[in-house]
A and B are shown apart, each in its own frame.
Chain A
Amino acid sequence: MTTTAPFAVPDADPALLARLHARLEDAATGDAAPDVHYRTVDSPLGPLLVAATEQGVARLAFAIEDEDEVLESLATRIGPRVLRAPRRLDPAARWLDHFFAGDHGPYPGPVDLRLARGFRLAVLERLREVPFGRTISYAALAARTDAPRAVRAVGTACATNPVPLVVPCHRVVRSDGSTGAYRGGAEAKVRLLALERDGVLPASGGSAPRLL
């Protein structure tokens, strides 16, 4: 709605609106907590969107996914009370910073895998056991589940992983050693594997990936 004032109305300045928003974030806890809170985190792979429920990190999206669509999907699948609340996700942001700097530790906070169901959820649970610097083939990962022949379904579970990096689906490669597809783009996967192998994330569009 626009104003129709017959006199000048001062605009709410951005700094004020930011302060008001921060107050809203602080108040939105406990019974008043949103269904989903989120923030973006700058990373060498571009801005990442991190979203969490009260139970833990539920979604991580790369920039190639449209932010509005990700938020709409979260509103539909989890709940419409979706609020930007950066400070509540500071621990996740710090972990991502450390991860991209070569820190080996798995994400230490709670993870909410409600966006994965059934077999896909089981695959993600097995996948969390694969440590930094290691890779596993789709077939070997299938072998760790109740359906050892469901290699294609394992591929689907990885491709639809709601929390890449936190659940390290980039560590799943083809049996022939090639990297395969990735939700954040094939190049991102190659760079992540190089980071875990060499301790340094190579620049985008750099030298030919050795894994291919």
Chain B
Amino acid sequence: MSISETAKAPFERVVGEHGPLVWRVCRGMLDQHDAEDAWSETFLAAMGAWARFDGNVAGWLVTIAHRKAVDVLRARSRAAFPTAEPPEVVSTLGVPDGRDLDLWAALALLPTRQRAAVVHHHLAGLPFAEVAQLTGTTEPAARKAASDGVQRLRSLLAGKDIA
């Protein structure tokens, strides 16, 4: 290959490598429908800026996805009759115990701060320093939010397939 160090990879490779990561962030923060919108909007925005971008691709994509998600959540909370995120989604964990509360639905029951901390650290793999930067808080606060969020998830998912 005669590609110089500065040459940009074809954007399709970015989609292939990071599509599942961006999905976890979008779906962790939003309901199924909004998450699908946010996923394609994230990659559309990233593709537009791809020629000029330089840095950590995964962190950059999570940042874009986070902002898209926060915009949607704000718009939802401004709505007169909030309809966001009822735990209506059929379980994808396949635990046939009659309960339909899966991870995504459980995440939707967390306060946004905890939800974002859990998603960005545990589902996207960002270090707490970056989670703090992304959510406009301190590293200890982000760590605490994630810890509280995980504890709450554990109780919500009690009896489910948790490690």
Interface residues of A (CB under 8 A from B): 1-12, 16-17, 19-21, 23-24, 27-28, 32, 34, 36, 38, 69, 71-76, 79-84
Contact = CB atoms under 8 A, between A and B. Distances in A.
Contacts of A19: 36
11 contacts: A6-B122, A7-B160, A10-B92, A19-B36, A27-B41, A28-B47, A34-B11, A75-B7, A75-B8, A75-B11, A82-B11
B117 interface: no
A4 B121 contact: yes
* Chain A binding surface, main DSSP class: mixed
Given A8-B103, A12-B19, A16-B23, A83 B123 contact: no
A80 B15 contact: no
B134 interface: no
Interface string B54-85: 00001000000000000000000000000000
A119 to B, nearest CB: 23
Given A6-B162, A16-B23, A83 B11 contact: yes
* Chain B binding surface, main DSSP class: helix
B66 to A, nearest CB: 14
Given A7-B154, A11-B20, A81-B50, A74 B162 contact: no
A34 to B, nearest CB: 6
Given A6-B150, A7-B162, A1 B122 contact: no
A32 B163 contact: no
B3 A72 contact: yes
A2 B17 CA distance: 12
Contacts of A23: 36, 39-40
Nearest to B17: A1
B24 interface: yes
A28 B153 CA distance: 37
B116 interface: no
A5 B122 CA distance: 4
B47 A83 contact: yes
